[in-house]
Structure 1
Amino acid sequence: MFSCTMIKSGIRKTLEEMYVYTFLFLANSFPDMSVCSIIRTLFVRPVANIGNNTRIRKNIYVNSFRKLSIGRNCFINRGVQFDCSGRVSIGDNCSIGFNVLVTTSTHLEKDRVGEDGHTVIGEDVIIGNGVWIGANSTILPGTEIGDNCIIAAGAVVKGKLDMSGVYAGVPAKYIRDTLGIAEKRI
């Protein structure tokens, strides 16, 4: 049967989900303008770790703000989804294009079960400082992107990427160094 701790845990999880969806609703209800981007960030800041001068555009999705950390001077474009089963850490001065998926959830093998009896676990995603992630890219669980990397639009990224490289393709592969590109950054 159900124990008291199971019921309390279920209630806490339900309240947390209501809290997350309420903040997302409020943050996403403002029009998509620069001033509203600042207001949207102010709505999200109390529940997530977000640095100063970070701008967040409309229609973001985050399933656990407690596991999301975004540095200073970042830009998160429209339609970005953060699946935070594990931690997502984004450094300073990063730009994330529209419709990017950052996912940390992965399934265990059939014969293994996680600590809580589930077969889904979270693997952390770490994004370094000065990273550009192009539109419609997918960042898979356990990925670590080094400082000053550029991820081309539509790339699927898994594993550890060295700093200062341009990566493109499915799966993302090293294309070239960022020398000459970095000076053009805003």
Structure 2
Amino acid sequence: MSSLKLYIIRLFVLFIPETRGFSIKRFLYRWAGAKIGENVRICSSAIILGSGKLKIGSNTWVGQNVMLLASKEIEIGKNVDIGPKVYIGNGTHVIEPNSERIAGKGKSIKIIIGNGTWLGVNSTILPGVVVGDKVVVGAGSLVNTKLESYTVAVGSPAKAIKIWDVKTQNWIPCKR
């Protein structure tokens, strides 16, 4: 994506009502280099930054004040719901205890969010995370490791509390 184009878009979308003009916003983010599917709805207060790759699948909702920082690659599936104030960013640092700064050389690690997933309000998705299909990430949760498909995960760090059993069509509590 082009950082300059994203900056220009940011100035423009602030004048579009929060939950209106989705087709204009899709067009603008595609112009900046993002791969945006059909019927993706991005709220005007969402902030998208970075020179990495961003792919958002069809029928995905990007809520109010979401921050997507794509310094490498962020891949969001189709039919995903991203609640307000969610942070998804793939930039981090190598930890260097013997240097003047412990936050050493910067690095970026790909993030994948599976189809049909719901990221609750104020949740955080850290670099290198893979979230499976149809996962529920509870409000305020911090996801720092892989989450398997069909789970509900909550907390900081997020832990699976139940998993959908396809055979019985019931939620099964996870052992903690």
Is 1:39 matched up with 2:24? Answer: yes
- One-letter amino acid of the counterpart of residue 142, structure 2: V
- One-letter amino acid of the counterpart of residue 120, structure 1: G
Superposition RMSD in Å: 2.1
Match 1:128 to one of 99, 114, 130:
114
For the 8 Å contact 1:28–1:40, the answer to whether it is kept is: no
Match 2:91 to one of 99, 105, 122:
105
In the TM superposition, residue 168 of structure 1 has moved relative to its aligned partner by 0.3
In the TM superposition, residue 145 of structure 1 has moved relative to its aligned partner by 0.2
- Structure 1 segments (4+ residues) deviating >6 Å: none
**Structure with a larger share of its residues in strand:** 2
Q: Which runs of 5+ in 1 are unaligned?
A: 1-15, 113-117, 182-186
SS in 2 for 1:121: strand
Q: CA 1:50–1:65 in structure 2 vs 1: closer, same or farther (change >3 Å)?
A: farther
Is 1:95 matched up with 2:81? Answer: yes
Q: Which runs of 5+ in 2 are unaligned?
A: 99-103, 172-176
- One-letter amino acid of the counterpart of residue 138, structure 1: T
Identity of aligned residues (%): 32
Give the TM-score of the pair, scaled to structure 2. Answer: 0.84
Question: Could you tell me which residue of structure 2 aligns to residue 76 of structure 1?
Answer: 62
Give the TM-score of the pair, scaled to structure 1. Answer: 0.79
For the 8 Å contact 1:27–1:41, the answer to whether it is kept is: no
